[in-house]
Chain A
Amino acid sequence: MSTLTTEELSETTLLRFATAGSVDDGKSTLVGRLLHDSKSILTDQLEAVERASASRGQEAPDLALLTDGLRAEREQGITIDVAYRYFATPRRRFILADTPGHVQYTRNMVTGASTAELTVILVDARNGVVEQTRRHAAIAALLRVPHVVLAVNKMDLVDYQETVFAGIAEEFTAYATELGVPEVTAIPISALAGDNVVEPSANMDWYGGPTFLEHLESVPVAHDLSHCHARLPVQYVIRPQTSEHPDYRGYAGQIAAGSFRVGEQVTVLPSGSSTKISGIDLLGTPVDIAWTTQSVTLLLEDDIDISRGDLIVPSKDAPPTTQDIEATVCHVADAPLTVGHRVLLKHGTRTVKAIVKDIPSRLTLDDLSLHPHPGQLVANDIGRVKIRTAEPLPVDSYADSRRTGSFILIDPNDGTTLTAGMVGESFASPEPVKDAAEDDGWDF
């Protein structure tokens, strides 16, 4: 970092990525190596780790102490929860959702992957694609993470053999592609020895691709808006009512998908009123066009009734509104989700009352088989649900829009976040499962 100029620092982009960890696959070592070799661990942090390691009688600094932030985690030597870490190179800034590989893996990985543009799935080169790998791939596919990296780790323990790597990469890519993962990049690494993590490996001259870090630096994060449905959930109505701005009425929100232009005909949902965009304020500066993830304020030609929770969309591309939502969900709370459960549903900026009408199936991630009518979903379960909402909602399919196709369920009694939901079909293929023995393989 010390060689960067101010200008170089300013012109970088941001990549959010998540690691999918299982125990002993070397995830902590990879994260440690990445932070260490990109010079993101500073002297005082390293000294603190050395001090703590020495006070426990450990001979070498325990790099896991860098990432285990909570007292209970250090005492038990486990990672409890998702942690977010930051590092930078001259080309890009990174936000890493570091998800633990222990019991609660599914909800943690779902949490980490929900905001990620890239997911790293680690496998041990000695073991190849295992059940856990397939589970990780399924969650990445379910969450529609745009880029998946298969990091084949511990290549040093298989004599850096190309055939080992090629076999694992082929098997994984075939599986992930079937799930609808749009892009898989496989990279042979040794996190422990540092091969292909930050520096290219001299031990694997047969590998012609980028190092792990090079790939993170170059994967595209730009939005191609040509196929996106433009969506603006209204967060807040800005009305200064001052002598300087007596008539200003702006609809503030973060653009969830696509782009908006001044002059465009738009419709407000669920009311269905239409008007034209007369101006766009980008945090105080007028602009002609604004696009995904920008926080903006739209000014409209006509004075129509719009409030928080409404969705502004192009009139020619409005989603249907519905009170009956079918979705794939991941249950994240400890108490189960049952049929008949009365919940709150937060979609975009709108929170409405809802009831769980049916739980048609539960997904077994190991083999993607569907267990019909499980009756309930417990923590970490993924399943299909049918929900009836008290008011019509303009929902997109999650496949079309991660922002306007997602929702959370909230317990109205104590506010607990219960469930993460994705509207529409779960995988690219409508029939992901072909299990010959329909009665076998279910786990109860």
Chain B
Amino acid sequence: MTTTAAEVEEGTDTPYELSHLDALESEAVHIFREVAGEFERPVVLFSGGKDSIVMLHLALKAFAPAAVPFSLLHVDTGHNFPEVLEYRDRTVEKHGLRLHVASVQDYIDRGVLKERPDGTRNPLQTLPLTEKIQAEKFDAVFGGGRRDEEKARAKERVFSLRDEFSQWDPRRQRPELWNLYNGRHAPGEHVRVFPLSNWTELDVWQYIAREGIELPEIYFAHEREVFRRAGMWLTAGEWGGPKDTETVEKRQVRYRTVGDMSCTGAVDSDATTLDAVITEIAASRLTERGATRADDKMSEAAMEDRKREGYF
């Protein structure tokens, strides 16, 4: 807000302009309220990562002073950063929210899913997620996906219809006109909703800074035991690293994204504050996924393929 009411009173011809963050915030809030107005059982995907934290913050603002009318859903890979799980539980309790958990480990223990040779569990999240959606009869599922993340996501609608198998068909998407979102769906189908569609990584960080939103510590530079694999610094852990040829060393790093430990890499950094993080990102010549996500490099269409199956 750069214009105060006092300034406005002085000249009635003052043109009114929102800053880009205010415009994005207002649009996201509009999307949250549309879903609250039109759906029966919405849920917010919440991983404890920065995008879902921003989503929750926006939802809190959208319905203030009332409570957020949605529950949260976390797809737990079993390879989560302990700091992030701690943050997740603390946040849920602080706001008096209900958290649903879909556990990849459960599926592996039951023999429904099989551990991959590379130990990566990101692709294994799809089945627990979609079965949870069906079981709980969620009809709108908020995701923190942004179109700037990946070129398949650049094609994603804000309201994205998924069939009864949770599949995305990019060729059968509804055109989105003005801000008239169409949430119609048949029983068994659901709509994925992306309030941060038009945000970029930098917008998210600037918004976090402006709003003073608390984040898990792993987003800031800290000393950590890591080892090198496929050009990335991975955190050592019970999930399967390091292997014989890999050596652990202590480095000052931070994370740009939060995901499964087996495929989310840290970057060397001395950014210990939000300002330093923003400066670092503004200067970076790598996208956050390029820098830190192994699973997106699997093939040119890795994201599209997983999204088609029901991944977020």
Given A240-B66, A417-B182, A69 contacting B25 (CB threshold 8 A):
no
The CA-CA distance from A347 to B301 in the complex, in Å, is 37
Q: How far is the CA of A91 from the CA of B206 in the complex (A)?
A: 15
Say yes or no for A403: interface residue by CB 8 A criterion.
yes
Decide: A252 and B62 in contact? CB cutoff 8 A: yes
From B16, B34, B279, A225 is in contact (CB under 8 Å) with: B16
Query: Cβ of A236 and Cβ of B20 under 8 Å apart?
Result: no
Cβ-based interface call for A81 (8 A):
yes
A81's partner among B8, B17, B170 (CB-CB below 8 A) is: B170
B5 to chain A: closest residue by CB: A288
Q: Which residue of the partner chain, among B8, B148, B304, contacts A289 with CB atoms under 8 Å? A: B8
Within 8 A of B (CB), among A276-293: 281-284, 287-289, 291-293
> Is B155 within 8 A of A223, CB to CB?
no
Q: Are A69 and B180 in contact (CB under 8 A)?
A: no
Cβ–Cβ contact B33 & A406, under 8 A: no
Given contacts A68-B151, A84-B197, contact A349 B209 (CB under 8 A): no
CB of A294 closer than 8 Å to a CB of B: yes
Residues from 244 to 261 in A contacting B, C-beta threshold 8 Å: 244-245, 248, 252-254, 259
Residue contact B30 to A254, C-beta cutoff 8 Å:
yes
Residue ID in chain B nearest A419 by CB atoms: B177
**Could you say which of B128-136, B240-248, B281-289 contacts chain A?**
B281-289
Query: Is B213 in the interface zone, CB < 8 Å from A?
Result: no
Q: Does A275 contact B (CB under 8 A)?
A: no
B140, chain A: closest CB distance, angstroms: 13
B294 within 8 A of A: no
- Count A interface residues, CB 8 Å: 93
B62–A295 CB distance below 8 A = yes
Whether B151 lies near A407 (C-beta < 8 A) is: no
Q: Chain B residues near A82: list those with CB within 8 A.
A: 155, 175
Whether B5 and A74, one on each chain, are in contact in the complex, defined by CB atoms closer than 8 angstroms, is no
Contact check: which of A44, A72, A224 meets B13 at CB < 8 Å? A224
Q: Are the CB atoms of B175 and A415 closer together than 8 Å?
A: no
The answer to whether A93 and B175 touch across the interface, beta carbons within 8 angstroms, is no
A320 interface hit (Cβ, 8 Å): no
**Cβ A10 vs Cβ B179 within 8 A:** no
Contacts of A417 in B (CB 8 A): 174-175, 177, 182
Instruction: Let me know if B17 and A221 touch, CB within 8 A.
Output: yes
The reply on B184 being an interface residue by CB < 8 A is: yes
- Interface residue? A67 (CB, 8 A): yes
- Minimal Cβ-Cβ distance residue in A for B154: A83
- Per a CB cutoff under 8 Å, which of A10, A108, A224 touches B206? A10
Complex Cα distance, B66 from A242, in Å, reads 8
Q: Is A385 an interface residue (CB 8 A)?
A: no
Specify the chain B residue showing the minimal Cβ separation from A245: B65
B249 within 8 Å of A (CB atoms): no
Contact of B300 among A44, A48, A114, A295 (CB under 8 A): A48
User: Closest approach, in angstroms, between the C-beta of B105 and any C-beta of chain A?
Assistant: 31
| CB of A213 closer than 8 Å to a CB of B | no
CB <8 Å contact, B286 and A88: no
Partner of B5, one of A88, A244, A289, A420: A289
Which of A1-9, A423-431, A436-444 binds B?
A1-9
Q: Are A415 and B275 in contact (CB under 8 A)?
A: no
Whether A284 touches B65, Cβ cut-off 8 Å, given contacts A1-B282, A44-B291, A236-B36, is yes
For residue B155, give the distance in angstroms from its CB to the closest CB of chain A.
5
User: Is A9 a contact partner of B282 (Cβ separation < 8 A)?
Assistant: yes
Give A74's nearest chain B residue, CB to CB. B300
Which of chain A's residues 47-72 have a Cβ closer than 8 Å to chain B?
Answer: 47-48, 52, 66-72
Q: Is the CB of B15 within 8 A of A223?
A: yes
Pick the contact of B287 from A45, A84, A115, A240 — CB < 8 Å?
A: A45
| Chain B residues whose CB sits within 8 angstroms of the CB of A241 once the complex forms | 66
Asked if A226 lies at the interface with its beta carbon under 8 angstroms from chain B, I say yes
Q: What separation, in Å, do the CA atoms of A66 and B176 have in the docked complex?
A: 23
Query: Please, which residue of chain A has its CB at the minimum distance from the CB of B29?
Result: A295
- Residues of A close to B5: CB separation below 8 A: 287-289
Among residues of B, the one whose C-beta sits closest to the C-beta of A348 is: B180
Does B147 make an interface contact (CB < 8 A)? yes
Among B17, B65, B209, the residue within 8 A (CB) of A240 is B65
Chain B neighbourhood of A283, CB < 8 A: 25, 29, 61-62, 64
Q: Which residue of B lies closest to A293 (CB)?
A: B26
Q: How far is the CA of A268 from the CA of B65 in the complex (A)?
A: 23
Residues of B within 8 A of A253 (CB): 30, 33
- Given A6-B278, A86-B198, A240-B66, the answer on whether A293 and B20 have CB atoms closer than 8 Å is no
Tell me if A340 is interfacial: C-beta within 8 Å of chain B.
no
A386 within 8 A of partner (CB): no
By the criterion CB–CB under 8 Å, are B291 and A248 in contact?
no
Contact of A236 among B33, B198, B304 (CB under 8 A): B33
Residues of A within 8 A of B23 (CB): 13-14, 293
Q: What sequence of 0s and 1s flags, for each residue 1-43 of chain B, a beta carbon within 8 Å of any chain A beta carbon? A: 1100100100011011111111111110110011011000000
| Chain A CB within 8 A of B161 CB | yes
Could you mark each residue 39-76 of chain B with 1 if its beta carbon is under 8 Å from any beta carbon of chain A, else 0? Answer: 00000000000000000000001111111000000000
Sample of 7 more A-B contacts, CB < 8 Å, known A85-B148, A248-B65: A42-B284, A69-B153, A80-B170, A84-B198, A220-B15, A293-B23, A344-B184
Question: Which residues of B come within 8 Å of A, CB atoms?
Answer: 1-2, 5, 8, 12-13, 15-27, 29-30, 33-34, 36-37, 61-67, 147-148, 150-155, 161, 170-171, 173-180, 182, 184-186, 197-198, 200, 202-203, 206, 209-210, 275, 278-279, 282-287, 289-291, 300-301, 304-305
Between A and B, 26 residue pairs with Cβ closer than 8 Å are A6-B279, A11-B2, A13-B17, A14-B20, A45-B287, A47-B290, A48-B290, A67-B154, A70-B170, A95-B198, A110-B177, A238-B66, A248-B66, A254-B30, A254-B179, A283-B25, A283-B62, A284-B61, A291-B16, A293-B26, A295-B29, A295-B30, A308-B37, A408-B178, A408-B182, A414-B184
